[in-house]
Amino acid sequence: MKLTIIGSGYVGLTTGTCFAEMGHHVTCVDNNETKVKALREGIIPIYEPGLEDLIKKNVAVGKLKFTSSLQEALPEAEAIFIAVPTPPNEDGSVDLSFMERVAREIAEVLTPSMGYKVIVDKSTVPVKTGEKVAQTITHYAGKEVEFDVVSNPEFLREGCAVDDLLHPDRIVIGANSQRAMDVLKQVYRPFHAPILETDIESAELIKHAANSFLALKISYINAVARVCEKTGADVELVAEGIGMDKRISRHFLNAGLGYGGSCFPKDVKAFISISRQLGEPFLLLEEVERINEEQHERFLNRLRDRLWVFRDKKIAVWGLAFKQNTDDIRESIGIKLCQKLVAEGAIVSATDPKAMGTARPILEPIGVNFVDDMYECARDAEVLIIATEWADFANADLQKLSSVMRNRIIFDGRNIMSPDNLKTMNFEYHSVGRPSV
Ligand code: NAD
């Protein structure tokens, strides 16, 4: 099939590439011409395991191409996917101006002679956005243009997006017309994944409800971790014990610094905001958000208790990406920790296996030292903070680490190290919801 994706960021680029890999002919559009030029030259703007090879392979066989022109990308497309940003407004509601703009731009290009089009909303949007997109297109394109709007939320996880897209748990398609539903089912036929067919509103709600539930699991275990810290219990064992219950599952029960990233913080905020607008305040989610916001502050307080003052002390931070296997630093807790430590006068050095490039423009101007080698980063540090759960950090050579640090003190915000190993090596080790050693 001929497919167009508008917005070639984390979602659009990976989705478009995986559609091509499954046999479709895909045109990825982006209005950032620098990004399009780079993509055409084979420079991939994001780090996502396996993505670069798939892009190169599909470009080479002519199944994937890049443009910034909707005039070029729309006429032949059977389905047009929208994957543009939906960032939060100051009050937590969703800024839908990117969606509105794309709807207008699509309308300006579509003509009745191009035939029936399915416009697919892949961005994460508040319930009822599909209706607005359809109204906008009709308003600007005229009633003669034949199209349907469909909601097809994306559930990929950054860091394993290619695998998630090629082998999805489920595909959710929200459509109010059988004709549109059939087109989307044809798009997804090669994936052999379970398809849930819904109305548009339910599909839109599924995405916000799913992300909010995952965030809730994280805040839940972080609240349990606080009780563990007061009682000497070990939150890892508690998580193991409750996660063995199939009704609960162990996934997303990892105590730590809390969730970050481009999705959970904004999607929880959005769901809170929508519920309030609808007169059904979702107080449970307000608590989820409160616990999350407190989590890294509590961690810093524990560090303050240990060091007394931060001023002029060298503190190393391992981890700037909001999670492992990505270079994405949006709402990253590692970045927030660096900013707060610098604000209190600490001398901060930082490292990350993939996110140095994305973090530099934010942290270098405030004086954070970027060090490629993780052991050099920790050299002469009074404390090492672990802020991202990269495997490189979990598997660190403790002998080497102990030889470079000034004090052997580790504050592990992701519980990735073994307290027993650290005790044997004479480190002082603090983590989240586990007894310090
Ligand atoms: P992103 O910022 O990485 O990419 C968005 C892209 O859209 C950018 O390249 C931007 O230049 C482009 N763009 C903006 N306006 C445009 C326009 N008018 N025409 C053409 N291109 C335009 O964002 P993302 O992380 O890919 O997220 C996109 C949407 O998908 C959001 O709604 C997000 O909530 C949702 N989502 C994200 C993830 C994730 O893990 N990142 C997962 C599921 C859903």
* Mean pLDDT in residue range 204-218: 97
Which positions are catalytic?
A: 263
- Split at pLDDT 50, 70, 90, the class of 415 is very high
Q: Cβ(86) to ligand 1 under 6 A?
A: yes
For residue 205, the model assigns a pLDDT of: 96
Angle at 234 between CA 233 and CA 238, to 5 degrees: 100
* Mean pLDDT in residue range 342-363: 97
- Split at pLDDT 50, 70, 90, the class of 274 is very high
For residue 245, the model assigns a pLDDT of: 98
What is the DSSP secondary structure assignment for residue 112, as one 8-state letter?
Answer: G
**CA 229 to ligand 1 center in whole angstroms:** 39
* Mean pLDDT in residue range 408-430: 96
Q: Cβ(323) to ligand 1 under 6 A?
A: no
- pTM, whole model, 2 decimals? 0.94
Which is the closest atom of ligand 1 to the Cα of 122?
30
Is 192 buried (19+), middle (13-18) or exposed (0-12) by CB count in 10 A? exposed
Which is the closest atom of ligand 1 to the Cα of 263?
34
For residue 328, the model assigns a pLDDT of: 95
For residue 45, the model assigns a pLDDT of: 93
- Give how far the C-alpha of residue 56 lies from the chain's centroid of Cα atoms, to the nearest Å: 24
User: Any alpha helices (H) in 119-199, and if so which ranges?
Assistant: 129-141, 161-166, 178-188
For residue 312, the model assigns a pLDDT of: 96
For residue 107, the model assigns a pLDDT of: 97
Q: Cβ(156) to ligand 1 under 6 A?
A: yes
Distance (Å, whole) CA 40 – CA 67: 8
Which is the closest atom of ligand 1 to the Cα of 125?
32
Residue among 11, 72, 137, 212 whose CB has most ligand 1 atoms within 8 A, to mutate: 11
Q: Cβ(39) to ligand 1 under 6 A?
A: no
DSSP state string for 224-239:
HHHHHHHHT--HHHHH
Q: What is the pLDDT of residues 101-121, one digit of tens each?
A: 999 999 999 999 999 999 999
Is 43 buried (19+), middle (13-18) or exposed (0-12) by CB count in 10 A? exposed
Which is the closest atom of ligand 1 to the Cα of 267?
34
Distance (Å, whole) CA 389 – CA 373: 17
The β-bridge partners of 82 are 6, 121
For residue 347, the model assigns a pLDDT of: 98
- Split at pLDDT 50, 70, 90, the class of 133 is very high
For residue 153, the model assigns a pLDDT of: 98
Q: Cβ(16) to ligand 1 under 6 A?
A: no
* Higher pLDDT, residue 92 or 225: 225
For residue 186, the model assigns a pLDDT of: 98
Q: Cβ(46) to ligand 1 under 6 A?
A: no
- Split at pLDDT 50, 70, 90, the class of 313 is very high
For residue 95, the model assigns a pLDDT of: 97
Reduced to 3 states, what is the DSSP secondary structure of residue 83? coil
Q: Establish how many alpha carbons lie within 13 A of residue 251's alpha carbon, considering only the half-sphere containing its beta carbon.
A: 4
For residue 164, the model assigns a pLDDT of: 96
> Which residue has its alpha carbon closest to ligand 1 atom 27?
85
**CA 6 to ligand 1 center in whole angstroms:** 9
Question: How many of the other CB atoms lie within 10 Å of CB of 10?
Answer: 23
Average pLDDT, the chain: 97
**CA 11 to ligand 1 center in whole angstroms:** 6
- Split at pLDDT 50, 70, 90, the class of 413 is very high
For residue 136, the model assigns a pLDDT of: 97
Q: Cβ(83) to ligand 1 under 6 A?
A: yes
Angle at 174 between CA 168 and CA 178, to 5 degrees: 115
